[in-house]
Amino acid sequence: MCGRYAASRDKATLVREFDVVAAPAAELPADYNVAPTKQVYTVVDRAPGSEPDAPRRELAVARWGLVPSWAKDPAVGSRMINARVETLTQKPAYRRAVSRRRCLLPADGYYEWYEPPDGPLGRGGRPVKQPFYIHPADGSVLAMAGLYEFWRDPDLPREDPAAWLWTVTVITTSASDDLGRIHDRMPMCVRPDDWGAWLDPALTDGATAVGLLTPATPGWLAAYPVSREVNNVRNNGPDLIEPIEAA
């Protein structure tokens, strides 16, 4: 799964990198320990107002952890931070979103935890896992494929902006051979040449949309061990992605 990632690019940088034409007023701070339920930037192609044939690229702010429109309690989002690419068109929570509400989640890189087969044991006799930071080797932006949904609070008037909750999930796939030794899953990343096709709201066939996604090319992503300080969501800062000596 993908449960933590780093996102330090500011709004102006993301506007340039993704050719965005509409951006939110809010500016999110650099975050080197993005965790579920936090506010994150997301990139979408949406039709403004009543112009279905004129979609525009937007940078928006959403909460990480998808809440289906039919959910009775938004708390379910904390359990829906990832969506497996293999079952997107089958699961009720994702089936409609993959057909109509696809997005990109910009990141610098993400974290995964490796369990050494003969490593030290921690509390309760459980193995101590080593966090790794995984990122594009060339320093480019990591555009994670995602889905988004809108959930309305039935206790508030429909026209009240506070009644609407925008949420997202990260699509995951089997890890490539060079990263599978760390963890068996990884985010599905979209290359720049495929951003337009993935975001295109005119594409409403979920199976076709899923077919646009391909695993990362071996060697594109680099990985190195980092401090266990990232384990605590209260810790933040660029020091979390500094490499440490491998044990």
Q: Report which of 129, 134, 135 is spatially closest to residue 228, judged by C-alpha positions.
A: 129
For 4-18, give one letter per residue: b (16+ CB within 10 A) or e. bbbbbbebeebbebb
Q: Report which of 244, 174, 231 is spatially closest to residue 4, judged by C-alpha positions.
A: 231
What residue spans of 92-244 are helical by DSSP H? 92-100, 177-180, 195-199, 206-211
Question: How much is the CA Rg of the chain, to the nearest whole Å?
Answer: 18
Active site positions, annotated: 2, 112
**Cβ atoms of 168 and 78 closer than 8 Å:** no
Q: Which residue has the tokens 């076709």?
A: 208
Complete DSSP assignment for 16-67: HHTT-SB--S--PPPEEEE-TTSEEEEEEEE--TT-TT--EEEEEEEEES--
* Residues pairing with 111 in the sheet: 133
Q: Report which of 243, 234, 242, 244 is spatially closest to residue 31, judged by C-alpha positions.
A: 234
DSSP state of 106: E
**Cβ atoms of 42 and 62 closer than 8 Å:** yes
